[in-house]
Every structure is written in structure tokens, then in C-alpha cells.
Amino acid sequence: MSVKLRKVGIIGVGHVGAHVAFSLATQGIVDELVLVDINKQKVVSERQDLIDSLSYLPHRINVVNGEYEDLADCDIVVLSAGKITETGSRLDEVQYSANVVDSFADRVVSAGFNGIFIVITNPCDVIARYLWEKTGFPKNRVFATGTGLDSCRFKTVLSRETGVDPKAISAYTMGEHGDSQIAAWSNVVFGAKPLSQLEKEDPDRFGKLDKPAILDEVKKAGWVTFKGKHATEFGIASTLARLVYAVFHDEKTVLPASTLLEGQYGENGIFASTPCIIGKNGVEDVYELNLSDDELKDYKNSCDVIRTTYNLIK
């Protein structure tokens, strides 16, 4: 009998990568972690900190430091390397992030990696496409966290404004993980009831939502976090862990992710966020929501922003 251990590699163990490792470990999602970073001492230190907690984790895990070639037999490789600019736009990170992809992609693939890439590195929609084209991997096995975190923020604000538990709310932001993202208000559901219905049935509770202000708060939430700690960590690590869990357990669950569009919303050839079926094969299906005319117009504008940014890569 052979038991397959669940193995994840993380490229870049700075603020985000280290918290990704910790989330995967403390939630009991992985059996093995391979940490890779150009800062070798950082990898040594993060590994030591992780293994110091082994006695208190849900189950035993193996944590090793490695090089790109050591990712060959991983099931999933997470890309979280990069730098954060203080300009207020993730798009300004594009060339640096593309250079990061150039530094590892050939080595990882040549070593024999044949799993799933999940991209956190910003601008993640652009970098997911760049990594997909660089590696030649099947479209379902390269995707980005996209608006997964933004959608979580969206539900958190809606919960605060209505008093409904966020886990009972279905709501998505879509498009770019950035300033041009849209809120799919026409598809917001509380339990089994659409927001549009609740606005009529209970106008005092649901009919007074300041929709532009809510979306603006969602867009700016990451920079609120950045202002005080110069990184976002817990939210994005939880988002990534949720995707990995869905893959390892073949959940076939619906989660927002940035994936290749092939005609959805009239868009082709770019990566942008939309609800997806996530299972053992990565993105197993792409859901196209019925957006309002204004929402579709804004979504296509967001895709144009992603496309324009991609064309800046040299």
C-alpha cells in the first residue's frame, strides 16, 4: 500500500509566503512543505520557526528548505515572491514580478514539476497569464488568488452592514485584483434570497446599502492593512489555504479565482477573476455570471486594465 503525502512548495517566504506556510501547517492541510527563497537565511529562520511549533499542530508535517529543483514532486507550487510598492497600485509591480517568473519557471518545469501553480504575486492576474505562457502548462493548472481576498472583504462589509453572518452570504468582486475590480451586486445572495428581493422585503435593512462606498472600502482595505504593517498576511494566506484545501480534497466548490477567459464575458486570452469550480485538477470549470449591463461594461473595462498592464512587460 502506498500513501500519497500532500506536498506544497512556496516560492518566496517573505511576509506573505511565511504566513501561507503557517496557515497550511496550522490548518492541517499539508503533509510536506518546501520553502524556497533567494534570501537563504530567511528560509532557514522561517523553517526553524515552523518546526518549533510541530508538537502543537493538527498532525505531523515535514518542512524543508530547498532550491527550485526540489519542487519537482510537489502537488502545488505557490508563487508569493515579489515586492510591494507604496504607490497604491499593484500594477506598478509588474516588471519586477515578471522577472521573478523568468528566474524560476524554466528550472522548476525542467526539474519535472507537473502539478498546479497558484499565483499570489502581484499583479496576480497578469503574472498568472505570464507564468502560464512561460511554462506551457494546461490552463486549468495555472491560476491566481485573484479577487478571492477581495470577495472575502466584500462579504465582511456586507455582514457588518446587514448583520448577516458572512458565511451565509454569496458575493463576488470580479475582474482585476486591484482598483478596477467590480462588485457583482446583481448576484449577491443572502442565504437563498437575492439582495434585489431583500431590498424590497426589508428596505430598512437591505435597501439602504451605499454600494459605491462599500466597493471603495473593499478596494482600499489592503492599503489600510499595509499602512500599519507594510504587508498583508492573514487574509491572503487564508485565501490561498482555502484554494489548496479545495484542490487536495477535490471539493468541486465554487471560489473566485483569476483564470484564463475563453469567451466568457466576451473576453479572450487574459486571466481575470470570476467564480470557478476548484477541484483536484485545479480550475475545473469557469462560471460566467449574468451581470447587469453596467456591471458587464465595468468588468470589460477591468479586463482592459489587465490587458494593458500585461503589455508593459518587456
Tens of pLDDT, residues 35-44: 999 999 999 9
Catalytic residue (one of 59, 177, 230, 249): 177
Q: Is 68 assigned a ligand-binding role in the annotation?
A: yes
- 127-156 CB burial, b ≥16 within 10 A, e <16: bbbbbbebbebeebbbbbbbbbbbbbbbbb
Residue type, 55: S
Residue 50 pLDDT level (bands cut at 50, 70, 90) = very high
* CATH code given to domain 148-310: 3.90.110.10
pTM, 2 dp: 0.96
203-262 pLDDT tens trace: 999 999 999 999 999 999 999 998 999 889 999 999 999 999 999 999 999 999 999 999
Residues 258 and 124 sit within 8 Å (Cβ to Cβ)? yes
| Biggest distance spanned by C-alpha atoms of the chain | 61
Q: Inform me whether the pLDDT recorded for 91 exceeds 80.
A: no
Q: Beta partners for 253?
A: 278
DSSP output for 89-154? -GGGGHHHHHHHHHHHHHHHHHTT--SEEEE-SSSHHHHHHHHHHHHT--GGGEEE-TTHHHHHHH
Residue with cell 504593517: 229
> Which set of grid coordinates corresponds to residue 200?
424590497
7-144 folds as Rossmann fold (3.40.50)
- Sorted by sequence, the CB contacts under 8 Å of residue 199 that are 6+ apart come out as 206, 207
Does 17 appear as a known binding residue?
yes
Does this chain's domain 7-144 share its CATH topology with 148-310? no
Determine the residue type at 131. Answer: L
Does 138 count as an annotated binding residue? no
The answer to whether the annotation marks 207 as part of a ligand binding site is: no
The pLDDT mean for the chain works out to 96
Is 177 annotated as catalytic? Answer: yes
What is the Cα Rg of the chain in Å? Answer: 19
Res. 87 pLDDT band, cuts 50 70 90: low
Please tell me whether residue 247 adopts helix, strand or coil conformation: helix
> What are the boundaries of each domain within the chain?
7-144, 148-310
